[in-house]
Every structure is written in structure tokens, then in C-alpha cells.
Amino acid sequence: MSAVPKVSIGERPIVLRTRGVRHGPITRLVSPSDIGNLIKPFVFLDLFDIATASSPNFGWHPHSGIATLTVLHAGAIEYQETTGAKGVLPAGGVEWMRAGGGVWHTGAALQHAKGFQLWIALPEELENAPCQSNYLSPAEVPAEMPARVILGSHGSAKSSIPAPASMNYLDVRLSAGEQWTYLPPADHEIAWIAVSEGTLRTPEPIGEGELAVFEESNNAISVQADTASRFVLGSSAKHPHELVLGRYSVHTTRAALMAGESEIQRIGHQLAAAGLLR
């Protein structure tokens, strides 16, 4: 039997890294006005570590043109949407809310909550479509170990979330010393990693709380964990449009943004009439 070749580390160099800007228990690693332009359709990423005693009051707030995606590593989060969806997201659970043409939602940490929230810029055909939500329990998230497949597919695992095509989002855990290589689909030229626990090498180190963006190509990404580590990895085809920004919205054109903001305003009037907005 032939020997298994050793995995070479670092086929794809890092072109940008950041530790973001911290606002209390939330670290903003990506915004649509900065790194989001480089790694679109991934336009926003928060790493959160929220204790219930200091949980910020997010309150009701709107979105359009994007999908929000929460991967909860620990704790529990209560959620509610103007679509009528409401419940509690447990540790290991996943929230996908395709805001489309406009929706409002609110949430709060019920237990010490840790994880990532990502925004994805939607393609033209979905940016003003009806809102759609998917909430997955830990058991409903498929895995191709050591990766849980949040969006898209990897190996034999495929997510049930109806995300736009040509997009993968993985939640990966490695033990100390473990190596793993990700082979992206041929059209996935965008790729990045954000680390929530531990330290990786690619071969450059990527530390806890850090986001690293790889050069645009479809080359493999190989990592090795120096310590027990957890991270998320996103890869995709590049979003072909300029980002047109509202306060809570991202669209492909000014007209699409105005349509989304009009629907947001309509729903907001309903919430105000119900006494839910201050």
C-alpha cells in the first residue's frame, strides 16, 4: 500500500487580514463599505460574545436586499420576525432570513451567546423577492467532518437552506495539530476565514478573533490548527454588482434600494401602530 502524501500547507496566500472594530460584546469584522466590497456577496460579518447581563437591546430593525445568517456556537437567542416567525435558536443552531424586499426582526440573548452573524448580498432576482426564513436545529445541519455545511455543499453534505447558487459557508472545528484542506468549486474565486477559537496556520498564523481574506483564485486552502480551533470559511463566485447601501440594506441598484426602503417603511408604520416601535 502506498504512503499517504503529506498535505502541503498554504496553497493560497492571504491578501488582507483584520481584527475588526469592537463594540462591547460585538466585533465587526466586515462592513459593506469596506471589506464587504472585496469579498462580496459576503458583505458583513460580526463575531459576537454576548452575556445576558450585558446583552444589547437590538429592538425591531429592518433589512432588505440581503440575507442574514446566524451561526450560534454557544448559548441561546430568542428571535421574532414580522413574517410571524418566532422562537429560540439553540446552541449549534442556524438562522437564515432572506430579507428580500423588506422585513423587520428583533432578538435577544437568553443565555451567554457566542457565534457569527453574516450578511449576504442577494442577486437581482432575489433582492426584492418575498422574505423567506429557515431555522435549523443542530441535528438538521449536515456535516462532512470536520466541517458543518451551513450553506451550499461540501463533499457528500448539502445544506437544506435555499441560498443563492455558487456559495459555500462552513463551520469547522479542528483539534490541535489537525490538518484540513478545502477544495473550492471551480467558480469560487472569493474565499475567507474567520477564527472564533484557537490559532490556525495557512502557513501564516490566523489568530482568535481574526479574519483573513485569500487571493482571488480557485486554488485549495490548507490549514493546520496549532491549538484546538473553530472557524468559519466562506467561498463563492464573485457578486457582479456594485453595492448600493441603505442603513440596514444592500442592493444592486438605487431603484431596488428605494423599493426595499418603501416596503420597510410600510411595515414600520404597522409596527408603530401596534406600539412596538419607540
Residue-wise pLDDT for 138-162, tens only, equals: 999 999 999 999 999 999 999 999 9
Using one digit for the tens of pLDDT, what is the confidence trace for 13-24?
Answer: 999 999 999 988
For residue 5, what pLDDT is reported?
Answer: 36
For residue 51, what pLDDT is reported?
Answer: 85
Region 227-245: mean pLDDT is: 97
Question: Picking from 45-54, 82-91, 215-224, which range would have the lowest pLDDT averaged per residue?
Answer: 45-54
For residue 53, what pLDDT is reported?
Answer: 61
Structurally, what CATH architecture does the domain formed by 14-273 represent? Sandwich (2.60)
pLDDT category of residue 214 using cuts at 50, 70 and 90? very high
Residue 1 has pLDDT above 70, yes or no: no
Residue 55 has pLDDT above 80, yes or no: no
**DSSP H or E run through 17:** strand 14-18
% the chain with pLDDT above 90: 86
**DSSP H or E run through 180:** strand 179-182
Greatest distance between any 2 Cα atoms in the chain: 73
Cis peptide before 56 (omega within 30 of 0): no
Q: What is the mean pLDDT of the chain?
A: 92
Amino acid residing at 236: S
Q: Which are the contacts of 152, defined by CB distance < 8 A and separation ≥ 6?
A: 158, 159, 163, 167, 168, 169
Using one digit for the tens of pLDDT, what is the confidence trace for 94-136?
Answer: 999 999 999 999 988 988 999 999 999 999 999 999 999 999 9
% the chain with pLDDT above 70: 94
Using one digit for the tens of pLDDT, what is the confidence trace for 157-200?
Answer: 999 999 999 999 999 999 999 999 999 999 999 999 999 999 99
- Between 94 and 57, name the one with better pLDDT: 94
User: How open is the CA angle 197-199-202, to the nearest 5 degrees?
Assistant: 130
